[in-house]
Chains A and B, each alone.
Chain A
Amino acid sequence: MNPFHYSKPDSVQDAVHLAGPASQFIAGGTNLLDLMKENVTRPEHLIDITGLPLREVRETEQGGLMIGALVSNADLAWDPLIEQRYPLLSQAILAGASPQLRNMASTGGNLLQRTRCYYFYDASVPCNKREPGSGCPAKDGLNRIHAIFGASVQCVATHPSDMCVALAALEALVHVQGRAGSRVIEFADFHRLPGESPERDNQLADDELITAIELPAAGFAQYSHYLKIRDRASYAFALVSVAAALDMTGPIIREARLVLGGVAHKPWRDKAVESFLVGKAVSRETFSAAADALLQHAEPLEHNAFKVKLARRAIVRALSDAALGGQA
């Protein structure tokens, strides 16, 4: 780890005023310190935000929840309000990382974790995300874990979060504060596709800090399911994951949310497929047709074509489990 300066501000205002291009905010540190040990990230200044008053989960006037950015992943997953009203989010969080890491990792930090692409993590090889313009060895290299949607010539990395897949399905809002003031970003707009600037994972400016995540009232508590497929039974990143949420009257789907993880540079949502499901009766054929429609746009690489088949089956199973009440 490179030497760095350390400060611990007491207020969000002070934190954003300390921030600059060579600084990083640190909360749980579970990804940042690892990246620093690997020399992937070498900040000159760490701004410890764990003293900020951002640890509350409170109800909003709109019937949703406002989650402070410093609420730990474990506390959030096991918060009674989340378990009862947003079980999809609870399931997704508990599918990620290990209990130790979930105790440390923060809500805001989960959004900002970086790809686990092997080439990004290896500072001795080129990577456009780590060193813009240096090249992408993953595109024609070992790309079993990489993207099948939304990749660019510059970058084929995936976003590693499970929690974010559920937040995308729930249409969460990201509250951020910068020196110029605060703003609210829709979850679908928060993370970026790599395009020509894969070094930028999201829309945050250098001085902007995530202060809260807001959940709308609709939690799809009755019919939702998070399905994660990985190389071992626990404690591994998703090869493919699916957040499925339905609102139903009898067997008829009134609203559908379908978001994939592990397949793109951001949680991958296809609204056309969600619209296709609305008004249809729950059936395996309907779910298969939805999966086919979503995956017809997949662009697999040399080693990850299996993800297309895997995603197809995972979508059908996640939607089926959601329709059964999410407990299957």
Chain B
Amino acid sequence: MSATTPDAAQSAFARHPLRITLNGQRRELEVLPWTTLLDLLREQLDLIGTKKGCDHGQCGACTVLLNGKRVNACLTLAVMCDGAELTTIEGLADGDQLHPMQQAFIKHDAFQCGYCTPGQICSAVGMANEGRAQTTEQIQELMSGNLCRCGAYSNIRDAIEEALPACRQQDGQGGGQ
């Protein structure tokens, strides 16, 4: 898929209003119906922390938190997010204070090339919100939607395992309700 379509083709199609709370900030935007949330973030709002990996929902690099729940931004139409609260990797830290999951990823060196990292971190925060991952095996299963082609899985798992209790105590941080 290309992010843009020729102007001539677009002229017959209406832009739609999109009101979202993005990383704590209210935004009023207009989008074409076929713009994905991922392309909106990266191409129009210059929030390039969220990564485009496969663009087919298979790799998890584009994971963001929509109303506190982790979703694939590449398979989400922006127009369908009207009224939503959205948190991307750029919105997890509190000023200079990193989110506990971000700190744990640094401590455990939970990346090599780093391309999957924003998605891994957002997915792990979403998993903490779900409250279903208690054991190492459950963490592995419930992080299966995020691929790391460098194979940094063991460090990613260790980072998440360490940060999960702190994330649960954060109670709502990172869009979690």
Contacts and interface: CB of A to CB of B under 8 A. Distances in A.
B1 interface: yes
B100 interface: no
Given A1-B1, A2-B34, A103-B69, A98 B55 contact: no
B56 interface: yes
B57 interface: yes
A123 interface: no
* Interface footprint category on A: 20 to 34
Interface in A1-51: 1-6, 26, 29-30, 33-34, 36-37, 46, 48, 50
A235 interface: yes
B15 to A, nearest CB: 10
A103 B76 CA distance: 12
A30 B80 CA distance: 13
Contacts of A235: 144-145
Nearest to A104: B71
Interface residues of B, number: 38
A37 B13 CA distance: 18
Residue among A3, A4, A48, A74 having the largest count of chain B Cβ atoms under 10 Å: A3
Nearest to A39: B1
A100 B79 contact: no
Contacts of B97: none
A53 interface: no
B55 to A, nearest CB: 7
A42 to B, nearest CB: 11
B9 A104 contact: no
Contacts of A98: 57, 60, 144-146
Contacts of A3: 5, 9-10, 12-13, 32-34
Interface string B26-49: 000000111010000000000000
Contact of B63 (A1, A6, A100): A100
Interface of A: 1-6, 26, 29-30, 33-34, 36-37, 46, 48, 50, 74, 78, 97-101, 103-104, 233-235
Interface of B: 1, 5, 9-10, 12-14, 16, 32-34, 36, 55-57, 60, 63, 69-72, 75-77, 79-80, 123, 126-127, 130, 132, 140-146
